[in-house]
Structure 1
Amino acid sequence: MAHEAEPESQEGIASFYSDRFQGATTASGERFDQNQLTAAHPDLPFGTEVVVTRPDTGREVTVVINDRGPFVKGRIIDLSKRAARELGMLNRGVVPVIVTQIN
């Protein structure tokens, strides 16, 4: 009987893109859009879906990796503004999260 592997999870800090990146070309070649549920991650393959969970509030959002980053020590994911809004982090800027790969 095959056993499903536990999904990979990472804990760290999430940030979100500044508005100045709107329309810029991401590392995957897509145009960046603050209104899409996308994110940058240092090494997950483009197109990977992840659930980003705030352990302090229980809020979560599913995003697709389409860019590389963030390039700040301790940060593990850089979210679009729409994803950041769904996590309730726009006023804080950065929040602790758990990132779990789902595909």
Structure 2
Amino acid sequence: MAAVTAALVTAGAALSIGTLPAEAGSQCGRASWYALGGKTASGERNNPNAMTAAHRHLPFGTRVRVENLNNGKYVVVRINDRGPFAGGRVIDVSRAAAQQLGMVKTGTAKVRLVVDGAAMKNACPA
């Protein structure tokens, strides 16, 4: 079973939890979106119309369910890039994913990430 390094963000403070099995992995924090050109860290050409995202630690190809905690909308994205590099953010999603999440206008949203369809074992703070 693959393990990933993850961090849970609770009440604005990061708590490092080391190695977390992918099927138990969830993470809460803020998401932003981007539509840059060029290549991603995985070597793919960046496609703002694809359901992709950037995460600091998850392996390329990992599928992650991203849920907007403000409106309940969710999308499944594939990790193909590294980031985000802005403080307090846990994931950067493509423009297409941001549209489905209803966060294009706001630019960011409070989200819950669940790795590979895992059960919600870690609740996000209100």
TM-score normalized by structure 2?
A: 0.73
> 1:16 & 1:6 partners in 2: Cα distance?
25
Letter in 2 for 1:98: R
Question: 1:99, CA displacement in angstroms?
Answer: 0.6
RMSD (Å), alpha carbons: 1.4
Q: What's 1:12 paired with?
A: 29
Identity rate, percent: 50
Structure 2 segments unaligned to the other structure (5+ residues): 1-21, 118-126
SS at match of 1:83: helix
Q: What's 2:74 paired with?
A: 60
1:13-67 CA-to-partner distances (Å, cap 9, x unmatched) read 00001x4x12x11000000000000000000000000000012211000000000
> 1:6 & 1:58 partners in 2: Cα distance?
22
TM-score normalized by structure 1?
A: 0.89
SS at match of 2:91: strand
> 2:81 & 2:23 partners in 1: Cα distance?
25
Q: Which has the higher contact order (CA 8 A, sep 6+)?
A: 1
Post-superposition, which runs of at least 4 consecutive aligned residues in structure 1 deviate over 6 A? none
Q: What's 1:94 paired with?
A: 108
Q: Which has the higher strand share?
A: 2
Q: How many residues end up aligned between the 2 structures?
A: 96
Q: What's 2:86 paired with?
A: 72
Question: 1:6, CA displacement in angstroms?
Answer: 5.2
Structure 1 segments unaligned to the other structure (5+ residues): none
8 A Cα contact 2:23 2:116, kept in partner: no
> 2:73 & 2:55 partners in 1: Cα distance?
20
Question: 1:7, CA displacement in angstroms?
Answer: 2.7
Letter in 1 for 2:91: I
